[in-house]
Chains A and B, each alone.
Chain A
């Protein structure tokens, strides 16, 4: 089936054969198409890493900036033009390591953007060093005595920040990945989806089977609107819960709070400066 977000010509994809990123791309293409978004209004924003190359493989506008710095750019893009659908993509190193501070503050701001983190528990592009989500004991050419730091729990962190949409999926389940992606994009407010993704080249520990064995779908009847319950759920590890762990409609978005949109919803680029008003402002200094 033709997908409006896929290129007509074959794309030269730089990922390793068998990498989980391919399933994520498949899910994202399907999610975008099924949401029926206007292609010219979608902007993908990313940093640097294997995951962060995603924008090059989807036919949309994109801002592929610096390692770790996708979120500030994405926040500003949405703030300057709320008509755009802004999706940030990155790896666990990119978003939880280098860009960690921006994640905290995106949680505070609550821009209406979506963040997909390809969590392979390793630095893929730089060839296999530990990442903030690497499990203890994992040996790498740098962590030669094994990782001993406590891994970051992005789900618990996001719920603590009251990020209004917090989910985790395993990319091998393309159907669930796609469905959660659609809900995340449709959710008004900041949405974080942590996507478990095997890195077949550099993570020989957290392989497909490990993720299969160490994840469990949220039970039927699970209530994602109960923040305390969601927080408790997010603390569960091995198996890690899969699905929408927390969802809330209680927070106003960053853009909704911006004074510039209180009376006028048009994007900033369409507006003209009122030079008469500027002149009056200057004359106020007389």
Chain B
């Protein structure tokens, strides 16, 4: 069977934890991007360190794409369970490359990675051989492969390095020689100059550019990647990174840090965030800035620790007792992850509110290429004043924002109190003042609104059907709608969720059919839309099995809905 893959290739690596999927992906990511291919990878894995059945999907394309596809063009199963694990994602069109004695699949191309590894020096070289095989197939420059491998294993012994070079060459030859498969994806030299990074890395770089100098967290998947990234930046930048005893300590430390003039970042996931809720309320009361990254995973409780969901929106909207303003952001692309995280620090400092950045496992663990993040105009806005003797931390002002002093900077006292307080920060039970203080805090909503980022419309402004999505689903939903090829279907993506952008109302009201796509079981964002605008969605596309939406299923769902006549029963 002869196959030519012209513009878009999905390679899936499947194996058990500990077999090295990540190291193969790591090698391929750099080599494929270096040679000018657009690259995107997404991983799904079990919550275990060894065994199980995991997979990483790698998308190589001529055009920038970062949607998740069910389709598998080439499968590299490293263990027998890969075949049942991937189920009907494997079709007769899927080219399976594996070892005959390990995997039984009709039509499989047999490459003896293990035997070749043994010839090279040991079983540990099998992964490099597999990576080499893909590079050979995709005509990556062979010399570049060798150079990269030498660098990649630079910390290892001379023997290991040269064996890995031999391994990549062996794999390369095998891949190049594969009869019947031609990959003719166009390379783009511009890609070589782009960034290659994960969601975690983009968030961390955004924090760095936002002037983050204090990071505290308690490890919890999938949020730990950001903690690890920040810790690595702390080797070069003056950042305090502290692993705290629990999430309650985390949020209280972060508030203490902001109080003392630092710019603290918290990174956590559902269960950890749930523990922080009283601290979020404290943040509201003492009008502290706070930036909190929440990488969502399926709940309730421990849920599916290493999987993806968009199920914590309601929690973040309402976290903390009492009324106080907050900002909720949800990046849809790597560029947005960087820009919004950077902005989150300035917004928090300017408005003295908690700013939440909602991502999820799919987003945080995905990797792709993206144009270099521009730093030129970015500023770290501190919004801190030097205090005078008569300084009052909670002075009543026109817009509700009181100039923020910090202790030790100026001669005034900075008094923060979790009780209701007077302008100076002292406990009060003056109930008339209480009302003014609540009103003062809520007034800040108006100041926040000045910064709101309107949702992004993708497609024709002349739509009848509007597909709404938020956060990590951006690329997948856009691609699904594009693949649908209907001129009157457009996408509206929200990266700023709350305070709900007023501009959205007009877009939503204009749609004859409103579909909301989101990764939870109760249509949380659709409910927010209805609450804020009165517009009810006509259809919700929901997913909550722990896996990301795929382009195919979103497309199919929209198609079904339109076929069924949509809301007005006028089409088809």
Instruction: Write the residues of chain A forming the contact surface with B, with a CB cutoff of 8 angstroms.
Output: 14, 39-41, 43, 45, 48, 53, 55-56, 59-66, 69, 71-81, 83-84, 101-102, 104-105, 258-260, 264, 267-269, 271-275, 277-279, 281-283, 285-286
- Cβ contacts B360-384/A at 8 Å (1 or 0 each): 0000000000001101001010101
Q: Assuming the A-B contacts A80-B214, A275-B209, are A281 and B236 also in contact, with contact meaning beta carbons closer than 8 angstroms in the complex?
A: yes
B233 at the interface (CB under 8 A from A): yes
Which listed residue (B201, B205, B234, B418) contacts A65, Cβ 8 A?
A: B418
Instruction: Evaluate contact between A275 and B240: CB separation under 8 angstroms.
Output: no
Q: How far is the CB of B200 from chain A (nearest CB, A)?
A: 12
Which listed residue (A61, A102, A285) contacts B413, Cβ 8 A?
A: A61
Instruction: Evaluate contact between B249 and A105: CB separation under 8 angstroms.
Output: yes
Instruction: Evaluate contact between A76 and B257: CB separation under 8 angstroms.
Output: yes
A62-B415, A76-B214, A101-B248 known; 5 new pairs, CB 8 Å cut-off, are A56-B417, A269-B409, A277-B236, A281-B205, A282-B205
Q: Assuming the A-B contacts A81-B408, A102-B249, A273-B209, are A73 and B256 also in contact, with contact meaning beta carbons closer than 8 angstroms in the complex?
A: yes
- Which residues of B in the span 257-298 have a Cβ within 8 Å of any Cβ on A? 257, 259-262, 264, 278-279, 282, 286
* C-alpha spacing A102/B194, complex, angstroms: 44
Q: How far is the CB of B233 from chain A (nearest CB, A)?
A: 7
B492 at the interface (CB under 8 A from A): no
Instruction: Evaluate contact between B411 and A69: CB separation under 8 angstroms.
Output: no
Q: Which of B238, B249, B252 has the most CB of A within 10 A?
A: B252
List 8 A–B pairs whose Cβ atoms lie within 8 Å, in order of A's numbering: A43-B260, A61-B415, A65-B256, A75-B253, A76-B257, A101-B249, A105-B249, A286-B194
Q: How far is the CB of A229 from chain B (nearest CB, A)?
A: 29
Q: How far is the CB of A82 from chain B (nearest CB, A)?
A: 10
Instruction: Evaluate contact between A53 and B282: CB separation under 8 angstroms.
Output: no
* C-alpha spacing A279/B194, complex, angstroms: 13
Q: Assuming the A-B contacts A66-B252, A77-B256, A105-B249, are A56 and B375 also in contact, with contact meaning beta carbons closer than 8 angstroms in the complex?
A: no
Instruction: Evaluate contact between B375 and A282: CB separation under 8 angstroms.
Output: yes
Instruction: Evaluate contact between A45 and B256: CB separation under 8 angstroms.
Output: yes
Q: Assuming the A-B contacts A61-B407, A72-B249, A79-B240, are A286 and B256 also in contact, with contact meaning beta carbons closer than 8 angstroms in the complex?
A: no
Q: How far is the CB of B350 from chain A (nearest CB, A)?
A: 16
Q: Assuming the A-B contacts A62-B416, A105-B249, A282-B372, are A69 and B279 also in contact, with contact meaning beta carbons closer than 8 angstroms in the complex?
A: yes
B455 at the interface (CB under 8 A from A): no
Q: Which of A81, A104, A264, A278 has the most CB of B within 10 A?
A: A278
- Which residues of B in the span 380-403 have a Cβ within 8 Å of any Cβ on A? 380, 382, 384
Instruction: Evaluate contact between B408 and A79: CB separation under 8 angstroms.
Output: no
Instruction: Evaluate contact between B384 and A48: CB separation under 8 angstroms.
Output: no
Please name all residues of chain B whose beta carbon is closer than 8 Å to the beta carbon of A273 when the two chains form the complex.
Answer: 208-209, 211, 213, 237, 380
Which listed residue (A65, A259, A269, A281) contacts B406, Cβ 8 A?
A: A269
Instruction: Evaluate contact between B257 and A80: CB separation under 8 angstroms.
Output: yes
B255 at the interface (CB under 8 A from A): yes
- Which residues of B in the span 236-252 have a Cβ within 8 Å of any Cβ on A? 236-240, 242, 244-246, 248-250, 252
Question: Which A residue's beta carbon lies closest to that of B375?
Answer: A279
Q: How far is the CB of B533 from chain A (nearest CB, A)?
A: 36
Instruction: Evaluate contact between B418 and A48: CB separation under 8 angstroms.
Output: yes
Instruction: Evaluate contact between A61 and B414: CB separation under 8 angstroms.
Output: yes
Question: Which A residue's beta carbon lies closest to that of B237?
Answer: A277
Please name all residues of chain B whose beta carbon is closer than 8 Å to the beta carbon of A55 when the two chains form the complex.
Answer: 415
Please name all residues of chain B whose beta carbon is closer than 8 Å to the beta carbon of A102 when the two chains form the complex.
Answer: 245, 249
* C-alpha spacing A286/B192, complex, angstroms: 7
Q: How far is the CB of A10 from chain B (nearest CB, A)?
A: 14
* C-alpha spacing A41/B414, complex, angstroms: 10
Q: How far is the CB of B300 from chain A (nearest CB, A)?
A: 24
- Cβ contacts B415-427/A at 8 Å (1 or 0 each): 1111100000111
Instruction: Evaluate contact between B426 and A56: CB separation under 8 angstroms.
Output: yes
Instruction: Evaluate contact between B201 and A268: CB separation under 8 angstroms.
Output: no
B412 at the interface (CB under 8 A from A): yes
Instruction: Evaluate contact between A73 and B380: CB separation under 8 angstroms.
Output: no
Please name all residues of chain A whose beta carbon is closer than 8 Å to the beta carbon of B214 when the two chains form the complex.
Answer: 76, 79-80, 268
B410 at the interface (CB under 8 A from A): yes
* C-alpha spacing A174/B216, complex, angstroms: 39
Which listed residue (B372, B408, B412) contacts A41, Cβ 8 A?
A: B408
- What 5 A-B pairs are tightest by C-beta distance, nearest first? A269-B261, A73-B256, A76-B256, A80-B260, A61-B407
* C-alpha spacing A268/B264, complex, angstroms: 11
Instruction: Evaluate contact between B375 and A79: CB separation under 8 angstroms.
Output: no
B105 at the interface (CB under 8 A from A): no
* C-alpha spacing A63/B414, complex, angstroms: 8
Please name all residues of chain A whose beta carbon is closer than 8 Å to the beta carbon of B375 when the two chains form the complex.
Answer: 275, 278-279, 282
* C-alpha spacing A282/B382, complex, angstroms: 22
B448 at the interface (CB under 8 A from A): no
Number of A-B residue pairs, CB cutoff 8 Å, is: 191
B490 at the interface (CB under 8 A from A): no
* C-alpha spacing A269/B254, complex, angstroms: 14
Q: How far is the CB of A146 from chain B (nearest CB, A)?
A: 31
Instruction: Evaluate contact between A286 and B195: CB separation under 8 angstroms.
Output: yes
* C-alpha spacing A259/B236, complex, angstroms: 10
- Cβ contacts B153-179/A at 8 Å (1 or 0 each): 000000000000000000000000000
Please name all residues of chain A whose beta carbon is closer than 8 Å to the beta carbon of B257 when the two chains form the complex.
Answer: 76-77, 79-80
Please name all residues of chain A whose beta carbon is closer than 8 Å to the beta carbon of B245 when the two chains form the complex.
Answer: 101-102, 104-105
Please name all residues of chain A whose beta carbon is closer than 8 Å to the beta carbon of B408 when the two chains form the complex.
Answer: 40-41, 43, 61, 81, 83-84, 267
* C-alpha spacing A63/B416, complex, angstroms: 5
B134 at the interface (CB under 8 A from A): no
Please name all residues of chain A whose beta carbon is closer than 8 Å to the beta carbon of B413 when the two chains form the complex.
Answer: 39-40, 59-62
B197 at the interface (CB under 8 A from A): yes
Instruction: Evaluate contact between A268 and B256: CB separation under 8 angstroms.
Output: no
Q: How far is the CB of B327 from chain A (nearest CB, A)?
A: 21
Instruction: Evaluate contact between B240 and A74: CB separation under 8 angstroms.
Output: no
Please name all residues of chain A whose beta carbon is closer than 8 Å to the beta carbon of B425 when the two chains form the complex.
Answer: 62
Which listed residue (A62, A73, A269, A285) contacts B255, Cβ 8 A?
A: A73
Which listed residue (B201, B253, B372, B418) contacts A72, Cβ 8 A?
A: B253
Question: Which B residue's beta carbon lies closest to that of A70?
Answer: B252
* C-alpha spacing A200/B502, complex, angstroms: 57
Please name all residues of chain B whose beta carbon is closer than 8 Å to the beta carbon of A40 when the two chains form the complex.
Answer: 407-408, 410-413
Q: Assuming the A-B contacts A73-B259, A273-B209, A278-B209, are A285 and B195 also in contact, with contact meaning beta carbons closer than 8 angstroms in the complex?
A: yes
B193 at the interface (CB under 8 A from A): yes
* C-alpha spacing A63/B419, complex, angstroms: 11
* C-alpha spacing A196/B351, complex, angstroms: 43
Instruction: Evaluate contact between B208 and A278: CB separation under 8 angstroms.
Output: yes
Q: How far is the CB of B258 from chain A (nearest CB, A)?
A: 9
Please name all residues of chain B whose beta carbon is closer than 8 Å to the beta carbon of A260 when the two chains form the complex.
Answer: 213, 238-240
Please name all residues of chain B whose beta carbon is closer than 8 Å to the beta carbon of A43 when the two chains form the complex.
Answer: 260, 407-408
Please name all residues of chain B whose beta carbon is closer than 8 Å to the beta carbon of A74 when the two chains form the complex.
Answer: 256
- Which residues of B in the span 218-245 have a Cβ within 8 Å of any Cβ on A? 233-234, 236-240, 242, 244-245
Instruction: Evaluate contact between B262 and A80: CB separation under 8 angstroms.
Output: yes
Instruction: Evaluate contact between B418 and A269: CB separation under 8 angstroms.
Output: no
Q: How far is the CB of B169 from chain A (nearest CB, A)?
A: 26
Question: Which B residue's beta carbon lies closest to that of A102?
Answer: B249
Instruction: Evaluate contact between A76 and B254: CB separation under 8 angstroms.
Output: yes
Q: How far is the CB of B291 from chain A (nearest CB, A)?
A: 14
Question: Which B residue's beta carbon lies closest to that of A101?
Answer: B245
B149 at the interface (CB under 8 A from A): no
Q: How far is the CB of B371 from chain A (nearest CB, A)?
A: 11
Please name all residues of chain A whose beta carbon is closer than 8 Å to the beta carbon of B409 when the two chains form the complex.
Answer: 269
Question: Which A residue's beta carbon lies closest to that of B259?
Answer: A63
Instruction: Evaluate contact between A56 and B427: CB separation under 8 angstroms.
Output: yes
Please name all residues of chain A whose beta carbon is closer than 8 Å to the beta carbon of B194 when the two chains form the complex.
Answer: 286
Q: How far is the CB of A182 from chain B (nearest CB, A)?
A: 21
Q: How far is the CB of B154 from chain A (nearest CB, A)?
A: 15
